[in-house]
Chains A and B, each alone.
Chain A
Amino acid sequence: MADTDTTAQVPVTVLTGYLGAGKTTLLNRILSENHGRRFAVVINEFGELGVDNDLVVDADEEVFEMNNGCICCTVRGDLIRIIGGLMRRKGRFDGIIVETTGLADPAPVAQTFFVDEDVKRATRLDAIVTVVDAKHLPARLKDSSEAQEQIAFADIIVLNKMDLVAPAEADEVERMIKAINPYAEIRRSTKSDVPLDAVIGRDAFNLARILEREPEFLSGEDHHEHDSEVNSVSFEVSRPIDAERFNAWISRLLQEKGQDLLRTKGILHYAGDRRRFAFQAVHMIADGDYIGEAKEGDPRRSKIVFIGRDLNRPQLRRGFEACQVDA
């Protein structure tokens, strides 16, 4: 007789957002809705939860640098410890929700799920959900790099407090969000009233779904005034990618510019391979694997997306284009 399977990975949702944006309201809504799912919730010390039937863990955010001496290569030590403890009793919950403090940089949380071998084995990052205040976001984006980072890292943005803004204001806020991160899905809400399925179980970090969303790029994106230093660029090429050239280019790029590159995602068609290669990185920490073959007749175009600071568009374009096999 063999031991039972203990390998199923528990999904983790990361909830970020400025204090007062409606993050705790959303969390309370998720926990109190009658959905039959049980969550373990990791909150920061300032959190206030009105629900006590789920497993709530109160933690101080402990951001640890990794030993490579780089300031962007960080993990959340408290999460490694807490997930290690939770994973010994997997049957008790269906998912984990990690709430970050209002000023938190989401990178250490995300990187924890790529870096720590135990966390990687036991859990998978489901999505980063950022709650923003439609009224106050423009001011926040001007004065805070954390607010920009929380948008840049998001897979789903809950654009909250819609009752406090006029339609034109809301459209302008969406434009600002898309200028930073056109790949995030925006859900407008009042009092954080988004359906549970919109934020939980999204599987946004699954390599196979990494560029599933086709963003509506803003027309004339290169010409409008930048509201923030964080931006995104994307490139598509039509000739197959030379794996060696790409690896050399991307490793050097992440090494040199990783501190400014918040998120990188790509789908690549390597020469002589029918399968697609999916790639993602948070700062310098990368992850990649083959996903299914492209559909018969689909164009075999490769695509890469960068979200970050001080992106040198022509240089990145030339770099990616040079990864193609010779014409």
Chain B
Amino acid sequence: MNQKKERLRKLWVSLLGVCVLGLAVYAADSLGWIDNYIRGIFIQCCFAIIMVTSLNLVMGYLGQIALGHAGFMAVGAYTSALVTKAIGLGIKAGAILPMSNVMQFFIGLLCGAVAAALFGLVVGIPALRLRGDYLAIITLGFGEIIRVIIQNLAFAGGKGLANGQAGQALVGILKMNDIYVIFGVTAVCVAIMLAFVRSKFGRAIIAIREDDIASSSAGLNITFYKVLTFTVSAFFAGIAGAIYAHRGLGTLQHSDFTFLKSTEYVIMVVLGGMGSMTGSVVAAIILSVIPEALRAFSQYRMLIYSVILVLMMIFRPIGLFGNYEFSLYELLRGKLTGKPPRSGRSAAKGGA
């Protein structure tokens, strides 16, 4: 069947694309270009990509403003860090069979993701009854609540609920800064989210964004799809948190997850284009690298973001990509066969 062939070809092209990127990293690594500094920026790009693409599910596809994404990242970060710490202690005590760091990291990452998803579910059920500004405010509130609770947990480095003071950092976290592992995790996360939006789920979510009354009249259980999206989004924020926690510094502070962090990711989503996964990836990379490149002005970062955002709203309010999806397959197809590339989504189709 023709469609089947095209599907396979698409899959191969995507895999090829990912492999080429991986090889580029490998080449840079072999040439000794990747020192600890570059490694840090690379990892920062990776978790930013996961944060922004997952937030885009809620903001771009579901069309709801959520300002508490860093809260779910915090849940993932702390859960995974505590799990890998526990595994480490267990191995030392001989209670658990020794395993590689990567294995420990993956167990922590999965636990962090599931914990964040649970929080997403618990927050999403009441919060998603609201919409627009109200949802923005309540998610902001929940994000801060999560952070303040963590701040006061004794086992998370804080001084305990009784003291209620600013906590210390959680220290002695496993290091997992292997760029290939992190690159692989990021690629898989983005692929899963792309698959999610290109299924009945993505279709349903976009329909709900377009018109919720019409959606329920077409048989969609709106609450289900909204809460599901929120939960999936939190799940991936948890993964990003796990990467963040193990990025190699060994410490974790609740102040890494303030609502300003959430706002940063919101800005990246808007910059990349609401409803474009590839746009989110590009925006996450740009806005992670720029502040590093302009290290000297680092305290002006939020200012720079704001200016970029204002300029964006004036000159290109739909974001860099709008809802266009970059596709290597379509690009190659265009170049090789001379056919014009088809548009990424429906944006350009139709019209009289």
Check if A and B associate: no
